[in-house]
Chain A
Amino acid sequence: MDTVSRKGELRLMLIFSAAVLLMPVWLSPFGAAYPDLLQKFAIFGIFAVGFNILFGLTGYLSFGHAVFLGVGSYAAVWSFKLFTMNVIPAVIFGVIFSGIFAALIGFVSLRRSGIYFSILTLAFAQMSYNLAYSVLTPITNGETGLQLRLHDLRMIDALFIEAGEGLPLTNLFGIKMSGYPGFYFCAVLLIIGFYLALRVKNSPFGLALKAIKSNQTRMGYTGFNSRPYMLSAFMISGMYAGLAGALLAVTDPLAGAERMQWTASGEVVLMTILGGAGTLIGPLLGAGLIKYFENIFSSYDDSLLHQAFSYLPDAMNDVVVGMISPFVGDGWHLTLGALFMVIIIFLPGGIVGGITHLWQRLVKKNQEPTEMEGKQQ
Chain B
Amino acid sequence: MTTVLNVSGVNKRFGGLQALDNVNLKVEEGQTLAIIGPNGAGKSTLLNVCIGRITPDTGSVEFHGEILTGKHPYEINQAGVARVFQTPEIFTELNLLENVMIPALSKRDGTYHFNIIARMKEEKQIQAEALHFLEDFGLEEQRFSDAGSLSRGDKRRLELAMCLVQHPKLLLLDEPTAGMSRLDTNSTIELLKKIKERGMTKIIIEHDMQVVFSLADKIVVLAQGAIIAEGTPDEVKNNPKVQEAYLGDEHA
Contacts and interface: CB of A to CB of B under 8 A. Distances in A.
A208 B78 CA distance: 16
Interface in B106-142: 106-107, 109-123
Nearest to B120: A3
Given A5-B121, A223-B103, A223-B166, A215 B91 contact: yes
Given A221-B89, A223-B103, A211 B94 contact: yes
Interface stretch (B21-29, B32-40, B69-77, B240-248): B69-77
A306 interface: no
Nearest to A222: B103
A205 B123 CA distance: 12
Interface in A294-335: none
Given A204-B105, A207-B98, A211-B94, A223 B78 contact: yes
B7 interface: no
Contacts of B162: 218, 222
- Interface majority SS on A: helix, strand, loop or mixed? helix
Contact of A202 (B73, B78, B85, B121): B121
A208 B120 contact: no
A211 B91 contact: yes
Contacts of B47: none
A208 B105 contact: yes
A289 B241 CA distance: 74
B73 to A, nearest CB: 4
B82 interface: yes
A65 B123 CA distance: 33
Contacts of A225: 72, 74, 111-112
B57 interface: no
A144 interface: no
Interface string B44-75: 00000000000000000000000000001110
A213 B94 CA distance: 10
Interface residues of B, number: 42
A215 B116 contact: no
Contacts of A226: 74
B72 A207 contact: no
A266 interface: no
B121 A207 contact: no
B118 A203 contact: yes
A130 interface: no
B95 to A, nearest CB: 6
A200 B116 CA distance: 5
A203 B122 CA distance: 9
Contacts of A118: none
Contact of A223 (B85, B106, B117, B119): B106
B97 interface: yes
A130 B197 CA distance: 65
Given A204-B120, A218-B90, A225-B112, A211 B102 contact: yes
B235 interface: no
A222 B113 contact: no
Contact of A205 (B82, B93, B101, B114): B114
A229 interface: yes
Contacts of A211: 91, 94, 98, 102
A224 interface: yes
Closest 3 CB pairs of A and B: A220-B73, A223-B77, A223-B106
24 contacts: A1-B95, A1-B121, A199-B116, A202-B121, A203-B118, A203-B120, A204-B123, A205-B116, A206-B116, A207-B101, A207-B105, A211-B91, A215-B89, A215-B90, A217-B89, A222-B106, A222-B162, A223-B106, A224-B102, A224-B112, A225-B74, A226-B74, A228-B112, A232-B114
